[in-house]
Structure 1
Amino acid sequence: MALHVTAPDGVPEIRPGDDLAGALLAALAPDALVDGDILVVTSKVVSKAEGRVVQGDREAWIDAETERLVARRGATRIVRNRLGLTMAAAGVDASNVEQGSVVLLPEDPDASARRLRAAVAERRRVNVGVVVTDTAGRPWREGQTDIAIGAAGLAVLESFAGRVDAHGNELAVTAPAVADEIAAAVELAQGKLGARPCAVLRGRGDLVLSPGEHGPGARALIRADGADLFGYGAREAVIQAVAARPAARTPFGSPVTADELAAALGRAGIVARVADPADVRTGPERRAAADIVAFAHGWQSIEAGPADTDLRFRPATP
């Protein structure tokens, strides 16, 4: 298998209301796009064309684009933004834009990708996939890489579940996020300072869907809030569990089983026992600590009866 990436020069500065598809296609030679190619475009030029350049204080716009705080270190905020993406500064960008302005992410990157795909099909008579990219950091890794935040006409995940490797081992959970891999590969050709906001990747036509079939989009790559193991940063998780606000439960995930809660309380040095599958009990001595552990695991304490000295826990009502 061979992959070929072309990142053309010559795309002009994009301004609100510009014909983005026309500007990108003008930079691509007539034979630069064929059926099965994947057109990759940075979210920055998509946002500029869609009028997502705004005036004002960057921190205020980060607040406006944020659904909830995930982690904070000094001035750096990692947040879950209105698109469901977890990233620094909610994706609000002050680079490659006039001073005093910031660029917000597209309103709906998947819809932006669908419009670009339709325009390419109409003007060049070719069936391509489209990926809209942005830059993101990664937990436990230095540096950043480009990811797919919008996609159309493309299989964004490639499932290997049920297939067998060369040694006869069945693959159970292997599902490469191919849209993200494409975004990262193409960024090598574009370069951060190369003024090349689009590129064409050739060689993975097997991922491109039939004309008129747009697929699930890049939104399919976003885990639901609470379905990921790291809904809060380490410090923020402590604060949220201590504060115990009901709205803060979701990122901790679904309630664990009674046995799992008892084990967690034990790891915290709190003696616990399981009375039944919906009833975990401890002594009253360390109630504050037990309540904190229970909150983080989707449970809550209930009032004991007059003759019951145990601290009792039940799964929290969603």
Structure 2
Amino acid sequence: MRDAEEVHSSMRPLTVWPLAGIPEVASGADLAAMIADAAAGELADGDILVVTSKIVSKAEGRFVTADDREDAITAETVRVVATRESPGGHLTRIVQNRLGIVSAAAGVDASNTPEGTILLLPVDPDASARALAATLRERLGVQVGVLVSDTLGRAWRDGQTDHAIGAAGVHVFEDLRGGTDAEGRPLVVTMPCVADELASAADLVKGKASRLPVAVVRGRADLVGSLDLPGARSIVRPLERDMFRLGADEAYAEGFAAGAASAHPASR
């Protein structure tokens, strides 16, 4: 249960602003140095930087040629959740990628990339976030946290929001279980994913076409801690606890096939 001081800290105003002055990121760029230069004099202990995964991928050289997009999606896929063909014949694949994230096209991105190329997600977004946070803490002398964000769709709702796919030095959950609500009732399952909430808040000031890939969130210093805190990979729900591991059509087809096999077992 959180004490009164922690609760008070979460009630302070939240300030979010984009970090200006970051140039175009090329393969092999020292991203930590670029962010540190842009952030010099702006950061304070407890600030959280939200870094768009695209520039992390660019710095890590995660480019592939555009004519390999479908092959790239297949290579990044570990489990197919659902597929749908549009009236125009385009096939949308909702899959779980090697990072455990369920998304369209395994996170393979064709927007804001050099002509003829597409971009894969970082190899290990948590490791990328730790490297950035460690360098920024050392160079700027402030205890900051880092989130690496990506844009994802949501089940049951149209549109997209930004989510945290990498985290370092930030509590990704605010565990309120064991406490009580305003009426004194026990909180049994309440555990907001504050990393995702912060990533979405940051996207409101970064935008998608403004070339402002990093935002600073101030006002939740209570969430900033050791670089050994669990990363964003801990947000992914294990498959054995996933109640929606397949799309509706895929689940129906699987159940129908299982029922047919049970009703008409192969002769021995």
Relative to the length of structure 2, the TM-score reads 0.89
Question: Following the alignment from structure 1 to structure 2, what is the Cα–Cα distance between the partners of residues 170 and 217?
Answer: 28
Alignment partners' CA distance in 1, 2:228 and 2:143 = 11
Unaligned regions of 5+ residues in structure 2, if any? 1-11, 86-90
SS of 2:162 mapped into structure 1: strand
SS at match of 1:126: coil
Which of 69, 81, 103 lines up with 1:70 in the alignment?
A: 81
Aligned-residue sequence identity (percent) comes to 55
Deviates more, 1:14-23 or 1:234-243: 234-243
Q: How far, CA to CA, are the matches of 2:177 and 2:95 in structure 1?
A: 32
Q: Which residue in the other structure is 2:260 paired with?
A: 288
Aligned partner of 1:205 in structure 2 is: 221
Match of 1:105 in 2: 121
Higher mean alpha-carbon deviation, 121-130 vs 42-51, is at 121-130
Native 8 Å contact 1:154 1:214 kept in 2? no
**Is the alpha carbon distance of 1:162 and 1:73 closer, same or farther for their aligned partners in structure 2, counting shifts above 3 Å?**
same
The superposition leaves residues 111-151 of structure 1 with CA deviations (integer Å, 9 ceiling, x where unpaired) of 00000011101111111110000000001111100000000
Secondary structure of the 2:43 match is coil
Q: Distance in 2 between matches of 1:64 and 1:176?
A: 32
The whole-number CA distance in structure 2 between the counterparts of 1:194 and 1:139 is 27
After TM superposition, the structure 1 = structure 2 runs for residues 175-194 of structure 1, keeping only pairs within 5 Å, are 175-194=191-210
- Secondary structure at 1:51's aligned position in 2? coil
The 1-side partners of 2:182 and 2:155 are apart by 31
Q: Verify the 8 A CA contact 1:57 1:100 in the aligned structure 2.
A: no
| Deviation (angstroms), 1:13 | 0.9
SS at match of 1:229: coil
Tell me the CA shift for residue 242 of structure 1.
4.4
Structure 1, 144-153 or 161-170: larger mean CA deviation: 161-170
Equivalent of 1:226, from 233, 240, 244? 240
Question: Counterpart of 1:235 in structure 2: which amino acid?
Answer: D
Q: SS of the residue aligned with 2:243?
A: coil
CA shift at 1:226, angstroms?
2.8
Q: Choose from 111, 119, 124 the match for 1:95.
A: 111
Q: Which amino acid aligns with 1:45?
A: I
Match of 2:187 among 171, 178, 187: 171
Q: Does 1:19 pair with 2:33?
A: no
Specify the code of the residue in structure 2 equivalent to 1:91.
Answer: G
**1:156 aligns to what?**
172
Rounded to whole Å, the distance in 2 between the matches of 1:170 and 1:76 is: 43
Q: In the alignment, what sits opposite 1:266?
A: none
Query: CA separation in 2, counterparts of 1:124 and 1:193?
Result: 28
- In terms of Rg, which structure is larger? 1
**Aligned positions, number:** 250
> Which residue type is aligned with residue 41 of structure 1?
V
Partner of 2:41: 31
Instruction: Provide the secondary structure at the position in 2 that maps to 1:54.
Output: strand
- 2:245 match: secondary structure: coil
Alignment of 1:264-303 (within 5 A): 288=260
Describe the shift of the 1:57–1:164 C-alpha distance in structure 2 as closer, same or farther (beyond 3 A): same
Alpha-carbon distance in 1 for matches of 2:20, 2:41: 16
Correspondence 1:239-250 to 2 at 5 A: 239-243=253-257
Q: String of CA shifts for 1:80-126, please: whole Å, max 9, x gaps.
A: 00100000000000000122211000000000000001110111111
Verify the 8 A CA contact 1:131 1:152 in the aligned structure 2. yes
* Aligned mates of 2:153, 2:95 — CA distance in 1: 12
Partner of 1:117: 133
CA distance in 1, matches of 2:263, 2:207: 50
Q: Does 1:130 align with 2:140?
A: no
Cα drift, residue 176 of structure 1: 0.2
TM-score by length of 1: 0.75
- CA RMSD of the aligned region, Å? 1.9
**Uncovered stretches (5+) of structure 1, i.e. residues with no partner:** 245-286, 293-300, 304-318
